[in-house]
Amino acid sequence: MSANVLQHLKNRRTIYALDRDIKLGNDELVSLIQNTIKQAPSSFNSQSSRAVILLGKNQDRVWEIAKETLKAIVPADAYPATDAKLSGFQAAYGTVLFYEDQGVVADLQEKFAPYAENFPIWSEHSTGMAQLAVWTALAEHGIGASLQHYNPLIDDKVQAEWNIPSSWKLRAQMPFGSIVNPAGEKEYMDDKDRFRVFA
């Protein structure tokens, strides 16, 4: 692995304090995200990953949906903390919604029946790789991000708001923007507890 690739992976951190002062324009951002997902691997080259890129008023709206949804289920005395957290994501420049197309998964299950039970698992691998790839690409451009999972709570409202195909399954949300506060030091577990090498 080149030093540059490793450094970009190190730079990819969870950043919660985000703002909207980024250097890339919308066209550049969209192109970066789209092309990065295109290059992410998928089993059988299924290309099952899908993405919805929300900017401007759409960025605000997705987190309003999350607030409306969570307010209905979080105890009233605990909701202010939830609202503050969601407002932090809303303050970001944009959000990528990561989906996996279940129609693609079902087609592969039918075509390759001996592996049928594995395709949903491999689909999860695909979205994970797409998420890491986008997160790292954003970090390379000095853009911070975090990965959130308010699915399936927000799925139906989000699907209705942006007319998302019913076969698309929401897997994660990635708010991104300029970095207000960088991540702190990261601790790593001991290599001997994590790796086995046989040479």
**Per-residue pLDDT reduced to its tens digit, 5-28:** 899 999 999 999 999 999 999 999
Q: Is residue 186 part of a domain?
A: no
41 preceded by a cis bond (ω within 30 of 0): no
In whole angstroms, what is the distance from residue 170 CA to residue 52 CA?
A: 10
Contact 47, 122 (CB under 8 A): no
The predicted model scores a pTM of 0.95
Domain extent at residue 112: 11-180
Residue ranges of the chain whose pLDDT lies below 50: 1
Kindly tell me the number of DSSP H helices and DSSP E strands found in the chain: 8, 5
Q: What is the CATH number of the domain that holds 77?
A: 3.40.109.10
For 71, the token pair is: 């307010």
Does 5 map to a domain? no
pLDDT for 1 equals 47
Q: Is the residue at 109 inside a domain?
A: yes
